[in-house]
A = this chain, B = another copy of it.
Amino acid sequence: MNIRFYNARILTMEEPLSIINGELHVSGNTISYVGTSAQAPKDDKFDREIDCKWNLLMPGFKDAHTHSAMTLMRSYADDMPLQDWLNQMIFPVEAKMGAEENIYFTKLAVMEYLTSGITAAMEMYLDPYAIQLAFSECGFRNVQVSGINKFGPSLEEMEKRYIELNKKDDLSSYMLGFHAEYTCEKGLLEDIAAMANKYKAPVFAHISETKKEVEECKGRYGVSPIELLDQMGMFNYGGGGYHLVHVSDEDIEIIKKRKMYVVTNPASNLKLASGIAPIKRYLDEKIPVAIGTDGPASNNCLDMFREMFLVTGLSKVREEDAACCDAIDVLKMATVNGAEAMGLEDCKYLTKGSKADLIMIDLSKPNMQPLHNIPKNIVYAGSKLNVALTMINGKVLYEDGQFNIGIDQEELYAKCNDLFKKIYGAAN
């Protein structure tokens, strides 16, 4: 399909940020023109022309850490201490989840991502073959990360997944990773590090999410999780950490030296009482920060608008400095930095030759008025209500509240509610 968006404000996210008034052309899965209408090629044929009515086109948000199928646990395990939450509520449910649950609840999550303008997710969850299938059937761009830990899978299985699932199709890729230091034996971590060095690959994991995690790691090994992992050569080819709430000066030096990404998950860190990450410090140190929603058992929603406000708001209150963590930096985290962390270099700008992963922000809702500073309006006042259209890989998957992902919405909800009852009947 060739699609022309016209009468558009366009925020390409290239530096320096500016808004173009003009049009954007999509040819297949690629952006073929961005610029003024006067300069646009006149001989292109379009299957569809979309009047943007001077609403805003911008790159889709990149959700750089999530566990999509945890939509199954939404509002099931709230207002509980972290350890009870994990041991009594989450683990027993996960033990009952099969491919079917992974597929249907991942698809439910995809629907929610689309409503929030999220066009790609960095996923870590249970059954990567089922999950890849779910994402791909919906047309949703996904970067899966291995969540290996002492309960499984085997190292050989992880390597097989890395080979088979990486670039399985145009929408899917797979990266090395592991769940967390505290769920892996030392030998396993060393084996993962060896594999990262074998493939010259970056590695991602949950790191330093809670004070307790850091203290227990120091108790076991005398060093912080990042120090331990770096000693093994885990990040010789980069990668990053999810959460990174509790870090030392030494940790910061390693993060910089290894060119690691910080993926921050502020809503989850609030709801599980983990703490507030030192985002201002990361910005000062020029460490790239991306943003994730985390899974909907600990958040409980998949909403980049909520996360963006929290990144800047929590930094301001943490540092007692209303001037810190500018909204524009946060908008870059949610788009450009996320794309870079996920290896989606061709999805980060709205430029000719980039993949057509874009959203239309409805500026005609009252929360976007007046139109004084549109990027700040998005970060400080934006909501799912402002997402008029979400396009991934050149396909419009969500528009005016309707989904176009090959799913009967009512059927999916009925199936999810049935599976919910089946699982919880079995788990309780």
Measured CB to CB, the residues of A under 8 A from B are 71-72, 74-76, 78-82, 85, 108-109, 111-112, 115, 267, 269-276, 296, 299-303, 305-306, 309, 312-314, 316-317, 319-327, 364-367, 369-373, 376-377, 380-385, 409, 413, 416-417, 420, 424
A384–B413 Cα distance when bound, in Å, is 21
Q: Are B385 and A273 touching (Cβ within 8 A)?
A: no
Q: A309-B306, A383-B303, A383-B383 are in contact. Are A81 and B321 (CB under 8 A)?
A: yes
A112–B274 Cα distance when bound, in Å, is 33
Residue of B nearest to A314 (CB): B270
Question: Closest approach, in angstroms, between the C-beta of A94 and any C-beta of chain B?
Answer: 16
Q: Are A112 and B367 touching (Cβ within 8 A)?
A: yes
A78–B325 Cα distance when bound, in Å, is 11
Question: Closest approach, in angstroms, between the C-beta of A302 and any C-beta of chain B?
Answer: 7
A299–B76 Cα distance when bound, in Å, is 30
Q: Are B383 and A301 touching (Cβ within 8 A)?
A: yes
Which one of B79, B309, B321, B371 contacts A417 once the chains associate, using CB atoms below 8 Å?
A: B371
Which one of B303, B314, B322, B324 contacts A367 once the chains associate, using CB atoms below 8 Å?
A: B303
Question: Closest approach, in angstroms, between the C-beta of A270 and any C-beta of chain B?
Answer: 3
Q: Are A115 and B79 touching (Cβ within 8 A)?
A: no
Q: Enumerate 20 A-B pairs (CB-CB under 8 Å) in ascending A order.
A: A74-B372, A75-B376, A75-B381, A76-B373, A78-B326, A78-B373, A79-B323, A85-B322, A112-B365, A112-B366, A115-B366, A115-B385, A269-B317, A271-B313, A273-B321, A300-B381, A303-B381, A306-B306, A367-B384, A370-B417
Which one of B75, B303, B321, B420 contacts A377 once the chains associate, using CB atoms below 8 Å?
A: B75
Q: A383-B384, A385-B115 are in contact. Are A272 and B306 (CB under 8 A)?
A: no
Q: Are B71 and A369 touching (Cβ within 8 A)?
A: yes
Residue of B nearest to A245 (CB): B317
A275–B273 Cα distance when bound, in Å, is 16
Which one of B301, B320, B380 contacts A78 once the chains associate, using CB atoms below 8 Å?
A: B380
Q: Chain B CB within 10 Å — which of A85, A383, A424 has the most?
A: A383
Q: A273-B316, A380-B301, A383-B385 are in contact. Are A115 and B367 (CB under 8 A)?
A: yes
5 further A-B pairs in the complex, CB-CB below 8 A; given A76-B372, A367-B384: A108-B369, A112-B366, A273-B317, A301-B382, A383-B385
Q: Chain B CB within 10 Å — which of A323, A325, A364, A367 has the most?
A: A367
A370–B105 Cα distance when bound, in Å, is 9
Q: Are B322 and A272 touching (Cβ within 8 A)?
A: yes
Question: Closest approach, in angstroms, between the C-beta of A219 and any C-beta of chain B?
Answer: 19
Which one of B78, B269, B372 contacts A327 once the chains associate, using CB atoms below 8 Å?
A: B78
Q: A74-B370, A115-B365, A420-B370 are in contact. Are A326 and B79 (CB under 8 A)?
A: yes
